[in-house]
Structure 1
Amino acid sequence: MATMGLLDYQDSQGTRGVLFEIGVCAGRYFSVLMRSGHRSGDPVIGLDPFLWIDEATVNDRLHANVPGAPYRFINAYSTAYTARTLLDEFDGKLARFISVDGSHEASDVLWDLRLTEEILHPDGFVAVDDFFNPVAIGVNEGVHRFFNNPRALVPFAMFSNKLFLCRPHKLESFKKAIAEYAESDQSEDRPRFFIEHRNRGDKAIEQTLWGTKFYSFG
């Protein structure tokens, strides 16, 4: 729901570009990208070698759950691509949203984040899956190795198991957007947690990662 809120914010700002996921797996999160692409007309592309669930099964699930929404799969490992060859797959368009949810090995996460940094739209954002997940420690290592050098991405929020990133110039805009989402949807525990703690001041809802203050939703 938080991702939907952020994608709707992008739509309201007129941001256009590819909706891209590295690591489709069963397609549950990918269907969120499909919803947004169906509404905006933006391309929706997933990259996955389909080791755990075969491509035909995922296609059947997506056609049943999000009928009529166009998308395309690239059956491959992300490490087979550079930023240039991915942009060729995108017909030269940058990605306005990228979900990084492929291999959780540190070196692969680092590779995926480097790709992401190069192909992300200036007004785009990123969701890194399983940050802080104790059974996916490689994601933490990969993220920290990425930020160990100056980068063109910064964190703006952590929501459940996802770390959200954007360009530095969009930091305050995306923080405002996800806070407005929390205000509008009090049906879930994490938005309620955020609003309740924000009433105590920014220190109750902000954390710092590699020098950037971001919102933590617990």
Structure 2
Amino acid sequence: MVVHSPYIWEILMQVPIKIQWEQLCDSVEKLELEIAQTDFPIPTPQMCKLLIVGEDHRFYEHLGVDLFALCRALWKTVFCGVRQGGSTIAMQFVRAVTGRYEKTWRRKFIEIFFAVRLTRYIPKDRLPILYLWIAYYGWGMNNFRQACTRLRINPKSINVFEAAKLVARLKYPEPGECGSEHLEKIQRRGRHLITLANTMSESLKSYGEIQNETF
């Protein structure tokens, strides 16, 4: 409710916040143009579904910010000493585009504000594609194209397991020297994502069914 307040909007849209918002919008438009003009295949619907179930399972139930997830993450951090993510896909996308990762309340509040505005600025179904296109998957994998190239994945015929492991790398980015233990974490995460995707609600049916494969 606070982020919709005209008074808060007036404060936040002062320079330099207004400039940051305009830069964000400009970056989104450039990304859309890049995707429209590229011959490289974009992230598949299955990848989008895996992203939603893994990172933002209430994607279609909020307006860019999952207040329940944020409160839960805050509780875990303050009272349990356990860091837990509460960021939506929109919030993660804002971070990826702006490159702002400093751990301050001001940065977080602006990120929340921009995420809400962003879901009203572009069609919500575009967010998973845009985020997967520029997301960090690990060393030498600063976007979808680089990840496919380094992992020798053919994006035209990417299978479910490859898609799941790519999305898993958002939680467990692959280092330059990747040991068997880290690769196993990625595989376990991938299996978990596929299981989740096959048990999700009707809201994700448009992304298609995801069948388990042998890992």
Which one has the largest radius of gyration? Answer: 2
Larger relative CO (CA 8 A, sep 6+): 1 or 2? 2
Structure 1-normalised TM-score?
0.28
Structure 2-normalised TM-score?
0.28
